[in-house]
Every structure is written in C-alpha cells, then in structure tokens.
C-alpha cells in the first residue's frame, strides 16, 4: 500500500498524529475533522496514499465510497441533520488542501450556511462526543 512520509493523512494512519477515529478497516479510516464546517463533520480517507480521484485505484475508491455511505447513514441516525453535504476536491484550484484522497461528510441544518472547510479548531471533548454518537449508530 503506497504511503507518503510527509502526508498528514498518512501520518494519521500510522498513528504519528492523533485523530478522533470513528471507524477503521483494512482500506479506510474515518475520523472527525478538527476544523469542522459544522458539528459532526467527518472525513473518510483511503489508507493507500493517492492524491485524488483521478489516480485512486478502483478497489480503494469502492472501499471509500462504501465507508462514506455507511458513515452518512450513521450521521443521519445519530445527529438527525436536515441534510448531509458530501464534498470531494481534486487539485488546489478546486479547494483541495490535503493531497491524499478523502471525502468530507458535513451534516447541515435547514437554513444553515456553511463552507466546505471550517476555520476554527473544534473542542476535543465535543469531537469525542460526536464521534461516540456516530460510532454507536454505525454499530447498531
């Protein structure tokens, strides 16, 4: 499985940087965004270092897509948002800031205006509580 020594997401996968995990399997890692656009903002990444959608292997893309669907269902069950924004960016001009394939799941409420990325660091305890709710919904 390709990895990068300098990629922040590869460092998360290796445990060199802490993350608030929601789910992990052989091909994917799902964790809370530390700068959430809204409460419950979650990221799903491939464990294989792949820069973007244009280069990801089919098997990794399928694994991420299935994890995205399962996580979105769990977010819906746990947090009951009015909607869930699913974002994926390819290239700096499109807004990609981490060049490792990933998908954002952003719970939204009716009338809420949110960006694709949050600006402020979230409270760790709040992220842990949200992750626990989503994990419980994944397991039920």
Q: List residues with catalytic annotation.
A: 102
Q: What is the DSSP letter of 118?
A: -
* Listed residue (26, 115, 104) closest to 71, CA to CA: 104
Q: Are 47 and 54 in contact (CB under 8 A)?
A: no
Residues in the chain: 140
* Pair of tokens at residue 110: 């009716």
């Amino acid at each position: 499985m390709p990895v990068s020594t300098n990629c922040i997401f590869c460092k998360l996968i290796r445990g060199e940087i802490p993350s608030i995990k929601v789910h992990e399997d052989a091909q994917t890692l799902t964790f809370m965004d530390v700068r959430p656009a809204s409460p419950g903002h979650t990221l799903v990444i491939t464990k294989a270092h792949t820069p973007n959608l244009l280069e990801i292997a089919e098997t990794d893309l399928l694994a991420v897509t299935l994890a995205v669907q399962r996580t979105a269902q769990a977010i819906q069950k746990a947090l009951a948002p009015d909607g869930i924004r699913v974002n994926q960016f390819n290239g700096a001009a499109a807004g990609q800031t981490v060049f490792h394939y990933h998908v954002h799941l952003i719970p939204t409420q009716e009338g809420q205006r949110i960006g694709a990325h949050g600006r402020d660091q979230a409270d760790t305890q709040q992220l842990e509580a949200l992750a626990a709710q989503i994990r419980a919904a994944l397991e039920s």
